[in-house]
Structure 1
Amino acid sequence: MKKQEILDAFMFRHACKEFDATKKISEEDFSFILETGRLSPSSFGLEPWHFLVIQNQALRETLVKVAWGGQKQFPTASHLVFILARKSHFMRYDSEYVTGFMENVQKLPPEIVEMRKGFYEAFQSTDFNLLESERAMTDWATRQTYIPLANMMTAAAVIGVDSCPMEGFDREKMDALLAAELGMDRDKFTLACAVGFGYRKEAPMAKTRQELEAVTTWYE
C-alpha cells in the first residue's frame, strides 16, 4: 500500500499553473513540507541553500514583474518559496561557513574536520573543477537545491497539496530586487528557483511520460 500511495502522489503531482487563491495550506501541513526540505541530503552534507517564504502580497506583486513564468502562480499560491543557492563565499573548502558547519552543525572533532576539508578541497579543485570560476561553484550549488525542491513537492503531493516549480524569471533582475527589498547579500546568494504551493484551481491535463524502457539502460 505504501508503494502505491507514493506512486499515486506522483500521478497526482503536476505543475500547477494557477492556484485557488481562496484555499490556504494549514500551518501544520506547510511546516511538514518545509521540514522535508530541511532534511534533504546535500554534497558533504553542507546544505548549500536557504529558503525564503514570500507571503507578503505586495512583495509578490513586485517580484512577479521579473518572473514571466510565475504570472499566475505568484499571486495565487498559498505559500511561495524562493530557494537561494549559496555562492563561493560559503561553499569553498576553506570558507568560514564550511569550517563552522563541520564543527558546530556536524559536531566533528578537529582532526576529522581537517581530513574532510582535504577531501572537499580535492573534490572542488580536481574532481569537479569548481574552483575555476564563481559560475562553476554557483551552478554546482544551484543543482543541489533541486534535491529539497523535489522532496518538498513530493511530500506536498502525498498530503494532497499542489505545487509548481519555477525557473521562469530574469535572475539578474530578481537578485537585484531581493537585495533591494529583503537585503539579500548578492556576494553570498543567488536565486536558484521558486516553488509555489497551494490547491489547484482547475483539473490538470493527463500526465505524459516516456516509457521506462526509453529512459533506462541496464548493464548486467
Structure 2
Amino acid sequence: MNAITPTTADVAAQIRAAFAFRHATKIFDPARKVSEADMATILEAGRLSPTSFGHEPFRILMIQSPEKRELFRDFSWGANGMMNGSAGQLGTASHFGILLAARAPLMTAGSDYLLNHYRTVKHLPEEVIELFNGAYGKFQSSDHKITTDREITDWSGKQAYIVLANMMTAAALLGVDSCPIEGFDMAQTAAVLQAEFGIDTEAWQPAVMFAFGHRAQEPAFPQTRRSMDDTVSWF
C-alpha cells in the first residue's frame, strides 16, 4: 500500500498548530525527557539550516551535566526561570545548550579556516574558491561593511539565530517545548566556556543559550502578537 502523502492543507495546519503550541517555556517538567530520536531531529534541523555564504559560522554546545550547567547559574538570570526563584531552565530542561558564533579570526575573508571550509566541506575547486573568496571579501568590505571583530561576530550571531529558530520550529512540530535565552552576562559566560569547556574564545563567542524539554504547566498568559496588517506591508 502506498504511503499517504500529506496535502498542502495538512502541512499548513501542522505549521499553524506548532506555532500556536510554542512558547518560551520557563519551567520544564524534569521528569519528562526529550527522546533521543526527537533530539536528533532537532539538532539535524540546526545542522541543515541555511547560513550566509554557506559559511556555517556557528557551533552547538550541548550541556547535559547538572554540574556543568550550574557553572552558569550566578550570571544567567534568563535561564533561572526569569528570576522567579525556581531552578529555571538550567535545572529543569531535558536538554540545555549554547550556540557559539564565529569571530573575526575565522570569518574574515581569506582566513585559513574559511579556505579549509571551502575545500573540505563545500568541496569547491580552487578556481571557484578564488572567486567565492573574492565575492565574500567584497560583501564584507564594501557591501555590508562588516570588518571589525564586533561586526563580524554579530553577523555570525545572526546566522546562529536562524539555526536556533529552525531547531525551535522542529521541536514544536514534534510537540517539544523550547526557550531561547539571552539573559546572561557575555563576559562571564565566555570565561566559563574557556576555563571549563576548552572553548577558544578568541575564535568563538557565545551567541544565545537555549533549552528544550516538556512544559511543567500551561502558559500563564495567552499568546499575543501584532495583527497581520500591522506586521506585513505589501507594495
TM-score under structure 2 length normalisation: 0.92
- Offset of residue 87 of structure 1: 0.4
Aligned to 1:181: 196
After TM superposition, the structure 1 = structure 2 runs for residues 104-183 of structure 1, keeping only pairs within 5 Å, are: 104-131=120-147, 133-183=148-198
Listed as ranges, the gaps of 5+ residues in structure 2 are: 1-9, 81-87
The letter for the 2-side match of 1:116 is: F
Instruction: For residue 31 of structure 1, report the CA deviation from its aligned partner.
Output: 0.5
How many residues are aligned here?
218
Structure 2 SS opposite 1:194: strand
Offset of residue 161 of structure 1: 0.2
4+ runs deviating over 4 angstroms: none
2:73 and 2:162 map into 1 onto residues whose CA distance is: 24
After TM superposition, list the pairs within 5 Å mapping 1:5-84 onto structure 2. 5-71=14-80, 72-84=88-100
Q: Unpaired runs of 5+ in structure 1?
A: none
**Per-residue Cα deviation, 1:140-160 (whole angstroms, up to 9, x for no partner):** 111111001000000000010
Q: C-alpha displacement at 1:32, in angstroms?
A: 0.6
Matched position secondary structure for 1:201 = coil
The Cα offsets for residues 84-121 of structure 1, whole Å up to 9 and x where unpaired, read as: 00101110111111111111111111100000000000
CA distance in 1, matches of 2:179, 2:102: 22
What is the root-mean-square deviation in Å for CA atoms of aligned residues? 0.6
Q: Residue type matched to 1:52 in 2?
A: L
Alignment of 1:77-92 (within 5 A): 77-92=93-108
Normalised by the size of structure 1, how large is the TM-score? 0.98
Q: Structure 1: how far apart are the matches of 2:109 and 2:40?
A: 32
User: Structure 1, residues 66-98: CA drift from partner, whole Å, max 9, x if none?
Assistant: 101101011100000200001011101111111
Partner of 1:94: 110
**Residue 55 of structure 2 aligns to which amino acid in structure 1?**
L
User: What is the one-letter code of the residue matched to 1:192?
Assistant: A
Q: 2:13 is matched by which residue type in structure 1?
A: Q
